[in-house]
Amino acid sequence: MSRLLRTALRLPRASFPPASVLSRRVYSSSVVRRSAANATPPSNNVPPTSSDAAPTASSIASAASNATAEPSVSHEVATGSNEPASSLSNQSSTLEAGEQHEGKTPESNAGTVEYQDNKYTITRKDGGLIIQEGRKKPIEILDIVLRDSCKCSTCVDPHSKQRNFRTSDISSDIISENPTIEHGKLHITWKNDLRGAPAGSTHESTYDLHQLRHPILTPVEMESAGKNRWRAYWDNSRMQHWQHWITFDQFINNDISFAWSMRTLAELGLIFIKDIPDSREMVEKIATRMGPIRDTFYGRTWDVRSVPQATNVAYTDQFLGFHMDLMYMNDPPGYQLLHCLKNSCEGGESLFVDTFRVAYDMKQDDHTNYSRLLHHHIPYHYNHPDHFYTNTWPVFETQTFDDSVREGTNFSKSRLVHVNYSPPFQAPRKVRSPVPRKFREKNEALAKFASLLEDERYMFELKLNPGECVVFENRRVAHARRGFKTSTGERWLAGAYVDEDAMLSEFKTSSNKYPNLWRLKRKGLNSKHVKLLKGVGKPDELP
d(CA 92, CA 78): 12
d(CA 120, CA 122): 7
Rounded to an integer, what is the distance from CA 172 to the centroid of its chain?
30
What's the predicted TM-score (pTM) here?
0.70
Query: What is the dotted CATH code of the domain comprising 113-215?
Result: 3.30.2020.30
Q: What is the pLDDT of residues 169-196, one digit of tens each?
A: 999 999 999 999 999 999 999 999 999 8
d(CA 235, CA 455): 10
d(CA 12, CA 8): 9
- Nearest Cα to Cα of residue 188 among 118, 137, 131, 107: 131
| Residue 536 pLDDT > 80 | no
pLDDT at residue 115 in the model: 95
Q: What is the pLDDT of residues 220-277, one digit of tens each?
A: 677 777 887 889 999 999 999 999 999 999 999 999 999 999 999 999 999 999 999 9
Query: How far lies 213's CA from each of 132, 199, 278, in Å?
Result: 12, 33, 50
Q: Is 499 helix (H, G, I), strand (E, B) or coil?
A: coil
d(CA 289, CA 471): 12
Maximum Cα interatomic distance, the chain, rounded to a whole number of Å: 117
| Residue 126 pLDDT > 80 | yes
Handedness of CA 210, 216, 222, 228 (dihedral sign): negative
pLDDT at residue 201 in the model: 83
- Specify the higher pLDDT residue, 406 or 203: 203
pLDDT at residue 311 in the model: 56
pLDDT at residue 297 in the model: 94
Average pLDDT of the residues of the chain: 78
Share of the chain above pLDDT 70, in %: 70
> Residue 222's CB: how many other CB atoms inside 10 A?
22
- Nearest Cα to Cα of residue 279 among 470, 494, 38, 438: 494
The C-alpha angle 19, 21, 24, rounded to 5 degrees, equals 110
pLDDT at residue 401 in the model: 62
Question: Are both 113-215 and 216-405+412-542 of the same fold?
Answer: no
Q: What is the pLDDT of residues 358-394, one digit of tens each?
A: 999 999 999 999 999 999 999 999 999 999 999 999 9
- Nearest Cα to Cα of residue 171 among 127, 215, 126: 127
> Residue 96's CB: how many other CB atoms inside 10 A?
13
- Specify the higher pLDDT residue, 150 or 310: 150
pLDDT at residue 28 in the model: 34
Strand partners of residue 414: 400
> Residue 526's CB: how many other CB atoms inside 10 A?
7
pLDDT at residue 532 in the model: 63
- Specify the higher pLDDT residue, 245 or 516: 245
pLDDT at residue 319 in the model: 78
Q: Residue ranges of the domains in the chain?
A: 113-215, 216-405+412-542
pLDDT at residue 315 in the model: 59
Q: What is the pLDDT of residues 455-511, one digit of tens each?
A: 999 999 999 999 999 999 999 999 999 988 888 888 999 999 999 999 999 999 999
In terms of CATH architecture, what is 216-405+412-542? 4-Layer Sandwich (3.60)
Q: What is the pLDDT of residues 37-74, one digit of tens each?
A: 343 333 333 333 333 333 333 333 333 333 333 333 33
pLDDT at residue 227 in the model: 82
**Average pLDDT score over residue span 102-125:** 76
